[in-house]
Amino acid sequence: MEFIQDEEPDVKKPIIIAAMQDMGNVGSIVVNFINDSLKTKTFRTAKPLFPTYVIDQGGFIELPDERWEYKYTDDLIIFGGGKGQPKSNSELNTLCQDVIDVSKKYSAKFIYTLGGFHTNRNFHGNPKTFITATSEELMNQMRGLNIETTPQKSVITGFNGLILGFAKRNAIHGIGMYAELNVPEVPQYRSAISVIKTIEKLTYRKLGDTSQLEVMAQEIERKFKR
């Protein structure tokens, strides 16, 4: 994994929001929304050293431009979004450790990650977001805010789970937010909206107007009702 530092952001004890593409694209939708809404600026980029696939354009191939960016604004650092995750455990671990190193460099006290929570429950277009925390004490604080915690034991794979483990090992508070979804293969805009509202509640920070995400959700629903 190659890391390119473009500049030093002017941030003090920022909140870190770090998430990558996962089921329902929830991680990417939320990260991309925040970056677009808050007009964040790139200061660091992560790139794999070697391609893990090629793109056949119908008779000739092109190499993918895989990269994940760190962006910042107003004491907030956003990492991830984009397409996909590292294809090897080694690269995934390296990427998680880099997020931790960046967090320590700028004295971040909190890492939020997010993604989808696959369920068979019919939530009638109003998915819940569940949280899990890096400590029992933090979990109890969240419950005190009437935020529901994940309902059962499970294994959380990929970046959007593993980064919490890295945070815990490095004594950084972390919260994972996972919104309900029924169909992991389809972009879940309502789940993304649910996560955004939860982040706003926890950070006391308005992230932007989600009406366009609502439009996208309605379009997806129309498409799959045909």
Give the pLDDT confidence of 26-73 residue by residue, as tens digits. Answer: 999 999 999 999 999 999 999 988 887 889 999 999 988 888 999 999
- What is the pTM assigned to this prediction? 0.91
Phi/psi region, residue 88 (left: phi>0; alpha: psi -120 to 50; beta: rest), is: beta
Please give the residue that has the higher pLDDT: either 183 or 6. Answer: 6
Query: What are the structural domain ranges in the chain?
Result: 2-225
**pLDDT higher than 80, residue 224:** no
What is the per-residue pLDDT for 226? 54
Give the tens place of pLDDT for each residue, 1-27: 899 999 999 998 999 999 998 889 999
Q: Distance between CA 123 and CA 43 in Å, rounded?
A: 39
- Beta-carbon contacts of residue 8 (< 8 Å; ≥ 6 apart): 43
pLDDT of residue 212: 94
Place of tokens 């190659």: 2
Q: Which two tokens stand for residue 215?
A: 């439009």
CA distances from 75 to 10, 70, 97, 151 (A): 8, 13, 21, 32
Q: What is the mean pLDDT of residues 98-118?
A: 95
Position 84 pLDDT exceeds 70: yes
Mean pLDDT, the chain, whole residue set: 91
> What whole-number distance in Å separates Cα of residue 17 and Cα of residue 19?
7
pLDDT at 35: 96
Mean pLDDT, rounded, for 72-89: 88
Question: Is the pLDDT at 154 greater than 90, yes or no?
Answer: no
Question: What is the CATH architecture of 2-225?
Answer: 3-Layer(aba) Sandwich (3.40)
Element (H, E) at 32: helix 26-38
CA distance 162 to 150: 16
Tell me the residue type at 20: M
- The runs of H, that is alpha helices, within 54-206 are 89-105, 136-144, 159-169, 189-203
Percent of the chain clearing pLDDT 90 (strictly above): 70
Query: Can you tell me the mean pLDDT for 200-217?
Result: 93
As a whole number of angstroms, the distance between CA 128 and CA 105 comes to 34
